[in-house]
Amino acid sequence: MADLIELKVPDIGDFDSVEIIEVLVAEGDSISADQEVITIESDKAMMEIPSSLSGTIKEMKVKVGDKVSEGSVIALIESSDSAATSEKAEKPAEKAAESKPAEKEKPAAAESKPAPTPTVANPEPERTETLPYAPDTGSAKKPSHASPSVRQFARELGVPLAAIVGSGQKGRITKEDVQNFVKQVMNAPAPKAAEGAGIPSVPVINFEQFGEIESKELSRIKKISGKHLHACWLNIPHVTQFDEADITELEEFRQENKDMAAKKGVGLTPLVFIMKAVVACLKQYPEFNASLSEDKQSLIYKKYYNIGVAVDTPNGLMVPVIRDVDKKGFLELAGELGEISARAREGTLTAKDLQGGTFSISSLGGIGGQFFTPIVNAPEVAILGVSRHQMKPVWNGKEFEPRLMLPLSISYDHRVIDGAAGARFTVMLNQMLSDIRKVLL
């Protein structure tokens, strides 16, 4: 006997009320265990939710634009032992067609006419730009039928499948439909922005008139993080404080203990000491470890210290979070930092690894350069930029002596932190890095 089973959202970390940006299946579809059924996106990450069982979808309980949390019901699935053994032999499209009621076959007759060029569903001419992976709730009133390969192709191009009318059998969307949709959007005349409204767009230039060019699409990470950084820069009044810390003794201590740490399988980098020094400063200046409330009328102080560390990956910048830095020693932090940085470069981070940060550090020490202006990673209110240390002559009151100086750049939200507090925080961080033993006090 076949049973109707609720397919629910599994554990997705600390996320709550995450928006659905794509529904990958429809009523009547036959699915297998671990097949993706919906795609959700938070402010920092996007993930596909797989099915925990095989069977036929009898009723969808969600749609694009809905917000779900752990335990939310996605669909009702008819599951049976016989269905589980036969689903691999039967094509999902054919099984879905057999399980649908007769009245749902009517659209197929209307679409038997050749439709080589897809049309845009629910066009919105007033929109002046299309954001990658932005939920298209206006055109999500019907499910989009497409194979997994076509869905992946559309996601790579940032195309909302719900905006396309497919030309394939029973209205299925083909790869050519996605390509034609992109051509339509690219060839459509750009709508004129309302005079005096919003930020004026930059002029569109045909660069080919000046010489040879090459166009490469941005990675998915850069599309998502770029949208977030743009919002942070527009919404946060940035102030950046610059200074240099004397880390001569710190570097000597690190070199003395580097071999011991290596025998334990960890790399003792300067960033580990900087993280501990930052936490000591956050405890003295808690507004740096806070966030503005949604109505911007109060400040939310956090009693935990989770440090986000910017990692340069082949696909773009990612900021995994090291939790409870105040409760961990230097060697433990070094091991965790090395492990999570490696996973970031391999592309195996989970959504949980990217959330819950209270303060961020962006280190360019391994590359070079002096000072820069890091962008505050909202909802945080401050970020530390670290550049490459250099040996410099420093006046000690009697003579110049060589000292190893580390450039620091601290950006903060001026609505929360004023210049005096920013300067005090920087001075204390200097003191901590100049004598790392003070972290223990």
- Any idea which residues carry the catalytic annotation? 414
- Residues whose CB is less than 8 angstroms from the CB of residue 290 and which lie 6 or more positions away in sequence, other chains included: 299, 300, 301, 302, 381, 416
Residue holding tokens 């000292």?
Answer: 403
User: What are phi and psi for residue 135, nearest 5 degrees?
Assistant: -65, 130
Burial 300-330 (b: 16+ CB within 10 A, else e): eebeebbbbbbbebeebebbbbbbebeebeb
16, 19, 44, 134: which is closest to 360 by C-alpha? 44
Instruction: Determine contact, residues 134/110, Cβ cutoff 8 Å.
Output: no
In sequence order, the 6+-apart residues with CB closer than 8 A to the CB of 405 are: 244, 245, 246, 247, 389, 390, 391, 392, 394
User: CA-to-CA distance for 355 and 427, rounded, in angstroms?
Assistant: 29
Q: Beta partners for 321?
A: 308
Cα–Cα distance for residue pair 275/281, rounded to 1 Å: 10
Whether 284 and 428 have beta carbons less than 8 Å apart is answered as yes
Alpha helix stretches (DSSP H) within 34-147: 81-86, 92-99, 106-110
Burial of residue 54 (number of CB atoms within 10 Å: 0-12, 13-18, 19+) = buried
Task: Evaluate the CA torsion angle 33, 39, 42, 47 in order and state its sign.
Answer: positive
* Tokens read off for 316: 């773009």
Pairing of strands 316-318, 299-301: unpaired
State how far the Cα of 358 lies from the Cα of 378, in Å rounded to an integer. Answer: 9
Say how far apart CA 356 and CA 335 lie, in whole Å. Answer: 20
